Every structure is written in C-alpha cells, then in structure tokens.
Amino acid sequence: MIVPYVRLEMVRLLRDPGYLVMSLISPLTMYLVFTSLDLTGESGNGGSVYSMVGMAGFGAIGAVMGSGVSIAEDKPIGWIRQLRLLPLRPLEVVVGRALCAMVVTLPPILSVCLAGALVNGVLLGAGQWVAVLVLLWVGIAPIAVLAIGLGYLLTGHQAQMAGLVCYMGLSLLGGLWVPISKFPGWLERLATATPINRYGELSWRVTDGDTPSLTGVLVLAGWAALFAAIAVYGYRRSARSA
C-alpha cells in the first residue's frame, strides 16, 4: 500500500513546484558566490569541493523543509482525515512522506554538483562522484523525517518559521557554509554533534579519499531514530484531532 501512497503524494507535491524552484536557485547561487569570493578559506581546489558538498546539502535541506510546510498546510483541509481511511500504519505514512521529500532533493544536489564540475572544475574519480551523490541523497533522510515531524506537530505558519530556522541555522552551525574548524573550540564540538554536520561529513570524507566514519554514521542514525519517533507521534496526534 505504501507504493501507491508515495505515488499519490508525489503527484500532489509536483502540482505546487514553487518551493522546489527556490530550493534549486538559492544553493546554486550561494555556491557560485562562495567559490568566486573564496569564503570557505580552503586553499586551491579544496574550497570548491567543500562548498559544492555544503551547498548541495543546503539545497537538499531546503527542499525537505518545504515538504514539512506542505504537510502543515494540508491539515486544515482534511488531508489527515483522508489518510485515516487508508490501511497505513503511522510509520508507513512517515516513511512514505520521507521518500517523497527525498525525491525533491535531487534537483538541487545534481545542479550544484554539475556546477562544481563545469564551472569550478572539480575533479573527482567516477567512484567518488557516485558516492558523493548517493550519500548526499541518502544522508538527507533524517532531516526529511524531522521536517515531516514539524509538519505534523505545527501549524503552517509555525512550520514555516521552524523550517527556516533549521534551514539557515542548522546549515550554518553544521558547517555547510564554512568549515567548523574555523569555529571557536566549544562551538566546533557542538557542531560535530549535529545531524547536519555528520550529513556533510559523509561526502567530505569521500572527496578527501576516505570512507565515512562509523561514528558519523552512528550519530546520524541516532538522530534519524529520534526524528522518526517525533514524526510518528506527530502524525498520531494529528490523526486523533482530525
């Protein structure tokens, strides 16, 4: 049942592509600005590679946060009531919405990586390119689940505000704009505990010729489990009040 549900949600999502355009334009523009002004402080080609991963991740976060806002806006029109008629468990609803949110992250991820290769001459091996694209896409899953939880728990206006805080604040704190090594020591330690930093770290390590760290994967998985529990609780509460 979850496959038809995902298909249905994708059709509804693509009927309102406005926020998808914004999630595409903003990170691509910022990537070109950051690399032209060398705002990361990384030497040589390192700045272009670092910003490419960071801004692709930034765009992916914007896309999934927009999905959370759409959930919050759906509640007043009775969409949750309609879902209760389907033989779907709360976890299946959350997973289905997360998959939809992840699909819409592909345009910003692909566009920024394409700009990195064509505009800034980022050179990676074929295996590295594949790994970076896959990790940027798969690694956004915990943030997609967080956005869904916010959508079920908050009103449309509240979800917009919360989404903006996560989009901008967590991206900055997580090091997607500038390396956390430039932060004060206490802030750098805090940043390493955030899901956004561990999300970016997956691909940054690959571009450096390493493999994702087990610690980073476990931290990201822990956040994913927490966000999933919040999202399931949010859906159940919304369903009860629908």
Q: Give the tens place of pLDDT for each residue, 183-223.
A: 998 999 999 999 999 999 999 999 999 999 999 999 999 99
- Per-residue pLDDT of 53-65, as tens digits, reads 999 999 999 888 8
Q: Taking a C-beta distance cutoff of 8 angstroms, is the pair 82, 139 a contact?
A: no
- Per-residue pLDDT of 17-33, as tens digits, reads 565 666 778 888 888 88
Residue in this structure with the two tokens 């997973």, named with its chain if needed:
95
Q: What average pLDDT is seen over the chain?
A: 85
Hey, how many other C-beta atoms are within 10 angstroms of the C-beta on 237? 13
Residue in this structure with the two tokens 């629908």, named with its chain if needed:
242
Domain count, the chain: 1
- Per-residue pLDDT of 126-136, as tens digits, reads 999 999 999 99
Q: Which residues contact 242 (CB under 8 A, 6 or more apart)?
A: 75, 78, 80, 81, 84
pLDDT mean over 66-71: 82
**Separation CA 56–CA 48 (nearest Å):** 12
Instruction: Name the more confident of 235 and 46.
Output: 235
**Separation CA 234–CA 221 (nearest Å):** 20
Range of the domain at 216: 2-241
Q: Taking a C-beta distance cutoff of 8 angstroms, is the pair 69, 159 a contact?
A: yes
Per-residue DSSP letter, 38: T
**Separation CA 211–CA 65 (nearest Å):** 28
pLDDT mean over 162-191: 91
Q: Which two tokens stand for residue 37?
A: 């002004």
Q: DSSP characters for 165-202?
A: IIIIIIHHHTTSSS-GGGS-HHHHHHHHTSHHHHHHHH
Q: Which residues contact 199 (CB under 8 A, 6 or more apart)?
A: 57, 139, 140, 142, 143, 174, 220
- pTM of the complete model: 0.89
pLDDT at 82 over 80: no
Instruction: Name the more confident of 12 and 66.
Output: 66
**Which pLDDT belongs to residue 95?**
85
pLDDT mean over 2-19: 65
**Which pLDDT belongs to residue 13?**
66
